[in-house]
Amino acid sequence: MEGSIDTLSELRAVFERQRRASRQESPPDHAVRCDRLDRLTAILERYEEDFVAAICADFGHRSPHESRLLDIITAIGDVKEIRRRLKGWMKPRRVPTRLHLRPGHGRVLPQPLGVVGVISPWNFPVYLAFSGLSAALAAGNRVMLKPSELTPRTAALMAKAIGEAFDPAEVTVVLGGPDVGRAFAGLPFDHLLFTGSTAVGRQVARAAAENLTPVTLELGGKSPAVVAPSADLEAAAEKIVYGKMLNAGQICVSPDYALVPRNRVDAFVGAAEKVARRLYPTLATNPDYTSIVSDAHFTRLQALVEDARSKADRLVEVRPTGEPPSNARKMPLTIVVAPEDGAAVMREEIFGPILPVLAYDRLEEAIAYVNSRDRPLALYVFARAPEERDEIIGATISGGVTVNDVLCHVASDTLPFGGVGASGMGAYHGQAGFDTFSQLKPVFYQSRLNGMGLLYPPYGWLSDMAGRLLRKLI
């Protein structure tokens, strides 16, 4: 397939071709970069229905509305916004110059790094591939893209479409399984973006370290939703359930568990159950509800539920009345009330429609619970009282925060998106993505008339006087 490779023997040759092109040719100007971004937009628009169908087939069933909104429309919006702002991002950036170095001045020059590797996941197979791809191309780089093997139809279509629109020296799609993925991560890229699980992220980081390749790791973890005492409980339940059932919970920033005041837990569970039934009155044949991506992931989620049965106060399976269990890997929202810390649902990232609900007595306890665990990729704060909102945000550390909603900080591409600690490192989206994939080269421009000669040897009374003056100026 033109524009893609699927064998280990070709991998290094394509990388070397891109590296030679990036070293031998001048950095692409604004017009070239815009043309590349326009080609990405054209791919998304031309193949929209094909991508929707491919994603649906890969998942077993994926809501067409969710695929259009979350994979296609969002990706198009990001690419167009990058194009609109690109000229300003490319300009040299003047920085302040301290008095003793004037009349010289400093600037930061954004330049392409060279060849960027992008390893994209299966849960949003188009959006998360094109998001990294567009940022890297905007920064003037060549890109090698490795989509997930868990969505093979979508990956193959992406390879076909990109192969039609781009020369392999610009963009190449690499197909294959874990062995190809490991070899890909071991290439000496100028930067490597990985989106996926923390466990695989560690492997990618180790492989990249062999080449001193800088990495941006967008991982996951357990993103809490803190429902403060002042929160609108029904609104909080609606937002959290929506975020937990969207894409069947297969989102790295899906609310993983909820912390709720003890005296409001029963009301919260009742409100969550009511919302789930309203959003998805049926499951098995509901075109709006997405399947779990594979048998292995479905089995893992079922095991989490079974483990929780004996390690929680109660389980609430929000299954439509009279509807038998689905054989299409469609899993009902399962609310796990007061699970033990040792329960698997509290030790592992869930990545599915299972919602643990934990009680707390004082807001400080909820904050301490969040802080006692790995830093989350996302934190959701539900509070009407500004002092509660600000206390939670100020006392916790996370990749990003949305207040009184879910997922919105990711959708806002003017905000950097990234994790911290076990949830990742580095950030991209918007200008943060352009900067991540650029060498922000510091340059000092010396003036013809300057006082640096006063500091040269041989040292004497003049250099002593210059030193005394410098001491005052700094």
In this prediction, residues 255-284 reach a mean pLDDT of 97
| Strand, coil or helix: 315 | strand
pLDDT at 463 over 90: no
Q: Give the pLDDT of residue 305.
A: 97
The confidence band for 454, taking pLDDT boundaries of 50, 70 and 90, is: confident
The confidence band for 100, taking pLDDT boundaries of 50, 70 and 90, is: confident
Q: Give the pLDDT of residue 142.
A: 98
List, by residue number, the catalytic residues. 218, 252
Which of 193, 245, 229 is closest to 66 using CA atoms? 245
**Computed from CA positions of residues 375, 139, 429, 19, in that sequence, does the dihedral angle turn out positive or negative?**
negative
pLDDT at 214 over 60: yes
CA 132/CA 32 separation, integer angstroms:
18
In this prediction, residues 101-125 reach a mean pLDDT of 96
In this prediction, residues 450-472 reach a mean pLDDT of 83
The confidence band for 5, taking pLDDT boundaries of 50, 70 and 90, is: low
pLDDT at 4 over 60: no
Any idea which residue has 């000092």 for tokens? Answer: 444
What the chain holds in terms of domains, given with CATH numbers, is 4-83+107-219 (3.40.605.10), 224-418 (3.40.309.10)
pLDDT at 1 over 70: no
In this prediction, residues 131-148 reach a mean pLDDT of 98
